[in-house]
Structure 1
Amino acid sequence: MTGQRKDVLIDCDPGIDDALAIALAHGSPALEIVGITTVGGNVALDLTTANALRLREYLGFPDVPVVPGSPGALLRPRLDAAAVHGDSGLGEVRLPPATLPPAPGHAVDFIIETLRARPGEITLTAIGPLTNVALAVRREPRLVEWARELVILGGSYTRGNITPATEFNMAADPEAAAIVFSAGWTVTMIGLDVSRSALATGAVLERMRALGTLGEDLLVPCAEFYGMVTATEGPAIHDACAVAYLIDPSLIEIEPAVVEVETLGRLTSGMTVVDFDLRGRTPNALVGTSIDVARFWDLAMSAYSRINPASRV
């Protein structure tokens, strides 16, 4: 780790809530981003990569590698969420175009080599479909030993948001998710049961606006694009919950569980089947059950306030 910071490699598919999560990670003094890998998910890989590159320069960490990875799922057509995130993936956000290219190579190789070089030191957090992580752990099974921890945003033990049973990141590549959960490490799963509570209400948007340029350029347009905001309701900022857990695990209640991913069900493909009772089995996951929403937003605003963004074009 760098000083007292936790070093993190973020695998993502920006994506509005990915953008807010990346900004949270960069702004937090508790985290150091050592790399960003991209995957096709919310929008196509060329767009998720372009968005990651723009965010890297706008937020101000141009030396961190951004490495593109898998364009789609292992065995299925790519599931698209442009209807939610906009054609570009970042809604109506207008950031300066990136001037620096992505790093050479493929995300899978970057994940393996980065963790191989520093075993036990780097947290891998995946906030998009799990295709890159699944390919990496299949290619190099020792990844489960090299990762300090694996924290994902995805799944649910109650209900889905793509189908009644399935959350988007799991539905996007159920086979990859099944590989990741069965690989032999403990997966910390921050799912819809937690992230549905982290709402960008009217009061939250006012706090974002008070941050000046970052709020005007990125935070507020992201939150407002998702949908109607009222005094008590607003869009859920899903991916940032996983990053918040990295910063302060006490924000989220977690319970050990056995998690298996359904890949064959006609109505349940991608469902995370969560058994908290264990039934004599060894847990393969720590599953988030609730979040302290007030403390989450305090933590997020504190981190965002530390960011000095680039000038708008």
Structure 2
Amino acid sequence: MIVDVDTGIDDSLALLYLLAHPRAEILSIASTAGNVPVDQVAANNLAWLDLCKAGDIEVTLGAQTPLLAPLMTTEDTHGPQGIGYAELPVSQRKLSNRNATNAWVELVRERPGQITGLVTGPLTNLAMAIRIEPALPRLLQRLVVMGGAFHHPGNTTPTSEWNIAVDPEAAAEVFAAFAGLPADRLPIVCPLDITETMEMRPDHIARLAERAGSSPAEVIADHHAPTTRSAASNPVIRHFSDAVRFYMEFHRDHDQGFLAHMHDPFAAAVALDPSIVTCRVATVDVELAGTLTRGTTVADWRGMWGREPNAAIATTTDPVRFFDDLIDRVGGMAERLY
């Protein structure tokens, strides 16, 4: 896998899930500016690898800014370092000598038809890679993208989702590049329509800690002061709990309940097992000029544009099954490591 992230609380859990999963061979982790600036994203990626005692996995630095637009970041959602209240030790691991764009290009050329790409941040690095290697969509085995909103409100503007809104031009280029592939090779798009049904609640964290054998019981509650920190004996549980507490407080403060939408871990699960979703094929494009709608993903479900389909949009899944698997795998890894 090539994993392209803007880490990010939910990106963090996506990395933990992939590192815990025996089917995930991560060849490279690309750092993309989005939730926080790219240097901080890279630092977070390295720190999570340390915490999970991961092997020598390449971490690359991606573009500092989107293709055309000024960079937007969202520390109010993810915290000043992008990982909520968590305070991970600074890693001594080194970044790769090659950048994220070159890593995308070189790896798919080395392993044609073998690599799954997973993008849980803006599509900047991938768009730049496709400019260098236009055949990249056909060299990938599969692409999974967390992004967009179709029959669902946006989370950045009334109609746009964060990853697309940060770099709409990149998203438009990527979708266009995948037109004409067979249906089983089209990118699977996991939009807000489905990812906002992935509601992590305090009981999920309690179950995660229990699976890891961590003590004392892990309790996150709405009435706790913002200064509350985890006392979990297991470092994986402790740091993730501190991260997700911030995310739950954000959702609560925006009238969404004391929960956290786990967009990116769900996309990671789809990348490993596409059978967990049903999809509907469509032609997707991105609004680039609308005064009110810039960054909005538009799906032509009926072929009105007369253009070839370029995406398989995830429409249904089983959130209970997803969380059961996530808790078992990440909790099991935490238990083994500590």
- If the TM-score is normalised by the length of the shorter chain, which range does it land in? over 0.9
Distance 1:100 1:124 in 2: 23
Segments ≥4 residues shifted beyond 3 Å: 308-312
Q: After superposing the two structures, state which structure 1 stretch, 208-217 or 242-251, moved more.
A: 208-217
Tell me which of 92, 97, 105 is aligned to 2:98.
105
1:167 aligns with 2:161: yes
Report the equivalent of 1:208.
Answer: 208
Matched-pair contact (CA < 8 Å) for 1:9–1:33: yes
1:116 aligns with 2:142: no
Matched-pair contact (CA < 8 Å) for 1:256–1:286: yes
1:18 aligns with 2:43: no
Distance 1:107 1:296 in 2: 29
Quote how far apart the aligned CAs of 1:124 are.
Answer: 0.7
Report the equivalent of 1:223.
Answer: 244
Quote how far apart the aligned CAs of 1:227 are.
Answer: 2.3
Percentage of pairs with the same residue: 34
Residues 199-241 of structure 1 show CA distances to partners (whole Å, capped at 9, x for unaligned) of 11122121122222155323322221112489x8511011111
1:156 aligns with 2:143: no
Report the equivalent of 1:294.
Answer: 320
Amino acid in structure 2 at the alignment position of 1:226 = Y
Report the equivalent of 1:269.
Answer: 294
Report the equivalent of 2:221.
Answer: none
Distance 1:67 1:277 in 2: 39
Report the equivalent of 1:199.
Answer: 199
Distance 1:218 1:13 in 2: 18
Matched-pair contact (CA < 8 Å) for 2:60–2:95: yes
Report the equivalent of 1:282.
Answer: 308
What pairs with 1:1-313 in structure 2 (closer than 5 Å)? 8-158=1-151, 159-184=153-178, 185=181, 186-210=186-210, 211=212, 212=214, 213-214=234-235, 216-228=237-249, 234-279=259-304, 281-308=307-334
Residues 126-181 of structure 1 show CA distances to partners (whole Å, capped at 9, x for unaligned) of 10000000000011101111111111100010221001110000000000000000
Unaligned runs of 5+ in 1: 1-7
Helix, strand or coil at the partner of 2:69: coil
Quote how far apart the aligned CAs of 1:285 are.
Answer: 0.3
**TM-score of the aligned structures, taking structure 2 as reference length:** 0.85
Unaligned runs of 5+ in 2: 215-233
Distance 1:182 1:83 in 2: 32
Helix, strand or coil at the partner of 1:169: helix
Quote how far apart the aligned CAs of 1:182 are.
Answer: 0.2
Helix, strand or coil at the partner of 1:92: coil
Distance 1:142 1:84 in 2: 36
Quote how far apart the aligned CAs of 1:262 are.
Answer: 0.7
Helix, strand or coil at the partner of 1:32: coil
RMSD (Å) for aligned C-alpha atoms: 1.9
Residues 44-76 of structure 1 show CA distances to partners (whole Å, capped at 9, x for unaligned) of 111001001111111122301001010111101
Distance 1:214 1:171 in 2: 34
Matched-pair contact (CA < 8 Å) for 1:257–1:283: yes
Q: After superposing the two structures, state which structure 1 stretch, 271-280 or 139-148, moved more.
A: 271-280
Aligned residues: 304
Matched-pair contact (CA < 8 Å) for 1:37–1:66: yes
Helix, strand or coil at the partner of 2:125: helix
Distance 2:312 2:297 in 1: 13
Distance 1:259 1:214 in 2: 41
Matched-pair contact (CA < 8 Å) for 1:65–1:102: yes
Amino acid in structure 2 at the alignment position of 1:19 = S
Amino acid in structure 2 at the alignment position of 1:289 = T
